[in-house]
Structure 1
Amino acid sequence: MSDSRKTPGKEASDRLVHDPQGGIARLVEIMARLRDPETGCPWDIEQTFDTIAPYTIEEAHEVADAIERRDWQDLKGELGDLLFQSVYHARLAEEAGLFDFDAVVRLICDKMIARHPHVFGDESRDKTAEQQTRDWERIKAAERASKANAGVLDGVALGLPALTRAVKLQSRAARVGFDWPATDQVLDKIAEETRELVEARQNKSQQDVFEEFGDLLFVMANLARHLKIDPEAALRAANSKFTRRFKAIEAELARRGKTPSDSTLEEMDAIWNQVKQTEKQHHSDEVASTP
């Protein structure tokens, strides 16, 4: 493990921790102080790779959420939280004698240089985005082969959101020709999986229903890939739309002196349809007014 970062004395550490211009070195030192077994934070001292990993995933999702909401001030804070997660894991690794934060930075720098020979090397930049994507995947495949990850699907992280991982698995398989050539065939497969789910629900066990539902979601992810849609982003947008429309139902019911609990499904559904129609009309008006 590299020992390029010397541990400062208490006085120097205090100066760095409280220096607003201390940059990444300040953050690394704060992390070291939090993990100090004698003077650090009891909660931080107890953490491990496994206990911190869920927070890392959560912070990545919060970054995506801030972007979706176009809240750039919030994004600044969320990116800091995500950066802190990288520093946290690097500190755990340093304590275990595995690697340190400097090694993490060197590795990502080297990786980006190696994967962009058209920027940092002698290759031409005169390529389409599709060609650059193919080149990127070719380089990544070579990297996997050098790590003895020779299988087509090796290296697709288990911790990814399930829909994202499904798309990545399907994309890998598609590179070696295991893919439907036309979107219509994917739609046919969705119809087939839907029929199998209905059959399982009628005649089979809950485990069969579980498996058929998973198959249907997997094919839906494949449809998203064929349509060049990020299924996670599409589902987040659908969640936001549902939230917005249901809040409108609550607001309208409140105007009538009621709540969802003391309203009928028919009443709420009628309001939902009104909200939906209003949104569609608003969207049509925006499109019509666009020069």
Structure 2
Amino acid sequence: MSGFENLLSVVRALRGENGCPWDKAQTPLSLRRYMIEECFETIDAITQGEPSHVKEELGDLFFNVLLDACIYEENGDFTVDECLGSIAEKLVRRHPHVFPRSEGASEANDDLGRQWDDIKAKVEGRGDECALASVPDGFPPLLKAQKMLSKAAKRGFEWEKIEDVRAKVAEEMREVDDAAKSGDGSAIEEEIGDLLLSVVNWARWLGVDAVSALDRANRKFSGRFGYVESSMRAQKIAMDKSSLGEMMRLWREAKKEGR
């Protein structure tokens, strides 16, 4: 029995007549939070670069996916096999440069991004949908911004050159300053949002994944601040405004040492 078949049999047993009360009580709606948690835990393991941890987290993610699929199978909506078959068919259809004889495949194109979109529009009949309709409402805001900007750009809604993108960031910064002077909290929030969106677009133009970039910055900040905290604790110095100078010195020390 393969690993997949074994896991599938375990999931079905958990949902069976003599299965686990918790697993039997779950629904696709109740499982949403666990799917999100497992996705983030998997991403975290990949970022840490520990294969054994990645293996564990991917396993947890596979379990959640199969549990969801099995529930839909029980409800008569679709089978696990149909679910897997549909994605296999779609991947073959959208990769004519790999599977040139696939049914319904378009002619291979050197521009893989354009080829993917052409197949969606001409073969799958999804070309008339709103460009942003496929961006899930449940996406974290930063990821959602990145996806929306990318999809809008594919429809031609795009700056002509990166200097224009950079100028837009500068413009939004000035508008944040103006809103801050007004003291209007709602206006400040709106302008900060516009600034963040323009920075995400700038990152896209530079070929940088904004989500990964912010995650990297968060980890860097956490490491350096942890060094400051532990150093201050070792020196028995209280962390407050009066010791800001020492905290900044330690921060620069952590930065210099590449922490």
TM-score (norm 2): 0.88
Distance change >3 Å, CA 249–CA 160, structure 1 → 2 = same
Counterpart selection for 1:172 from 127, 132, 151:
151
Aligned partner of 1:64 among 26, 43, 51 = 43
TM-score (norm 1): 0.79
CA distance in 1, matches of 2:83, 2:112: 25
Residues 1:142 and 1:51: Cα distance change in structure 2 (over 3 Å): farther
Distance 2:164 2:67 in 1: 46
Show the counterpart of 1:285: none
Report the secondary structure of 1:252's partner residue.
helix
Q: Report the counterpart of residue 139 of structure 1 in structure 2.
A: 119
| CA shift digits 1:26-74 (9 cap, x unpaired) | 21222222223x4222222222222211221221222221121111111
Contact between 1:144 and 1:155, CA under 8 Å: does it hold in 2? no
Q: SS of the counterpart of 2:97?
A: helix
RMSD: 2.4
Indicate the residue corresponding to 1:211 in structure 2: 190
Which has the higher mean CA deviation after the structures are superposed, 243-252 or 116-125? 116-125
Shift of 1:114: 0.3
CA contact (8 A) 1:32 1:91 kept: yes
Aligned sequence identity (%):
36
**Alignment gaps of 5+ in structure 1:** 1-20, 281-291
Equivalent residue for 2:6?
Answer: 26
How many residue pairs are counted as aligned between the two chains? 255
Q: Is the 8 A contact 2:42 2:57 kept in 1?
A: yes
84-93 or 155-164: bigger deviation: 155-164
Counterpart of 1:17 in structure 2 is: none
What is the aligned counterpart of 2:181 among 202, 215, 218?
202
1:103-182 to 2 correspondence within 5 Å? Answer: 103-122=82-101, 127=110, 131-142=111-122, 145-146=125-126, 150-182=129-161
Find the counterpart in structure 2 of residue 97 from structure 1: 76
Q: Verify the 8 A CA contact 2:69 2:80 in the aligned structure 1.
A: yes
Alignment of 1:250-261 (within 5 A): 250-258=229-237, 260=239
User: What are the within-5 Å matches in structure 2 for residues 227-266 of structure 1?
Assistant: 227-258=206-237, 260=239, 264-266=243-245
Deviations 1:194-233 (A, max 9, x none): 2222222332532222222221111111111101100110
SS in 2 for 1:51: coil
Contact 2:165 2:201 (C-alpha < 8 Å) held by counterparts: yes
Contact 1:166–1:218, Cα closer than 8 Å, also in 2: yes
* Aligned twin of 1:52: 31
Give 5+ residue unaligned stretches, structure 2. Answer: none
What CA distance in whole angstroms lies between the structure 2 residues aligned with 1:174 and 1:97?
40
Contact 2:108/2:115, CA 8 A, preserved across alignment:
no
| Contact 2:109/2:115, CA 8 A, preserved across alignment | no
Question: 1:271 maps to which residue?
Answer: 250
